[in-house]
Amino acid sequence: MPKLSEVLGSLLRDLAESRVAADSLSKQYADAYSQDPLLSHFPVPRISVKDVTLRLRFAVAEQVIAQPNVQDKEFIDRLWAERVAGAMLPSLLAAMGAADQPEVADRLNAKIAQLAASRDLAISSALSGSASEATRRTVALLVSARNSLPAKLRAKLPADRIFTPAAQRGVREALAEFVPKAQRIVAARAALRSELDIVIAKAELQQVPESQVQELTVTLGADDIHLAGPPSLVGK
Task: Compute the CA torsion angle 86, 88, 91, 92 (nearest 10 deg).
Answer: -110
pLDDT reported for residue 1: 65
Q: Which residues of the chain have pLDDT under 50?
A: 227-236
* DSSP line for 98-109: -TT-HHHHHHHH
pLDDT reported for residue 45: 81
pLDDT reported for residue 109: 83
- Predicted TM-score of the model (pTM): 0.58
pLDDT reported for residue 233: 42
pLDDT reported for residue 227: 47
* DSSP line for 26-67: HHHHHHHHHHSTTGGGSPPP-----EEEEEEEEEEEEEEPPP
Q: Phi and psi at residue 175, in whole multiples of 5°?
A: -65, -40
What is the spatial distance between Cα 93 and Cα 228, in angstroms, rounded to a whole number?
53
